[in-house]
Copies of this chain bind each other. A is one copy, B any other.
Amino acid sequence: MEAADIRFMQMAMQQAREAETLGEIPIGAVIVCQSLVIAKAHNQTEMLHDVTAHAEMLALTAAANFLGSKYLKDCDLYVTVEPCPMCAGALYWAQLRKVVYAAPDHKRGFSVLNKALMHPKTQVIGGVMEQEAKMLMTDFFRKKRKN
């Protein structure tokens, strides 16, 4: 695990915390290109009433807008929870260099269905700041159930 991975994951975690304060499922993502953060996003499915508004999808669109290119071959994505099949499918098309996630998703994580959902050229790393991301999710759903 590299120091840069932790630094960028902390930024994704900050995005997740912002989602939480807005009542969104606390998942955040950042996209990095040549050590520069070019996109930050958090889950917005509730506010936008849109199942496609996952942090990764919004970050992908923002990064593509920034670069003016739909392929993100030199980019790395940091996300606080393992991408779902939709997001893995989007990351496949964008052909990212690296995808780093914190907490695994044993229910709807892409790797549960098929690891080949991610592009073969994309390096995938799980478990960076796993505990923090897990705790954010667990606390969120515990509070939800109480309400």
- Chain A interfacial positions (CB closer than 8 Å to B): 45-46, 48-52, 57, 60-61, 64-65, 67-71, 84-90, 92-94, 113-114, 116-117
B86 touches A68 (CB 8 A): no
B-chain residues with CB within 8 Å of residue A45 when the two chains form the complex = 70
B113 touches A51 (CB 8 A): no
How near does chain B come to A20, taking the closest CB pair, in angstroms?
Answer: 18
Give the CA-CA distance A43 to B91 in the complex, in Å.
17
How near does chain B come to A102, taking the closest CB pair, in angstroms?
Answer: 20
Give the CA-CA distance A85 to B88 in the complex, in Å.
8
Give the CA-CA distance A35 to B45 in the complex, in Å.
26
Give the CA-CA distance A116 to B85 in the complex, in Å.
10
Pick from B50, B65, B84, B90: contact of A51, CB under 8 Å = B90
Give the CA-CA distance A52 to B46 in the complex, in Å.
19
A65 touches B85 (CB 8 A): no
Give the CA-CA distance A87 to B94 in the complex, in Å.
14
Give the CA-CA distance A123 to B65 in the complex, in Å.
35
Give the CA-CA distance A49 to B84 in the complex, in Å.
22
How near does chain B come to A60, taking the closest CB pair, in angstroms?
Answer: 6
Give the CA-CA distance A114 to B61 in the complex, in Å.
26
B85 touches A89 (CB 8 A): yes
B65 touches A61 (CB 8 A): no
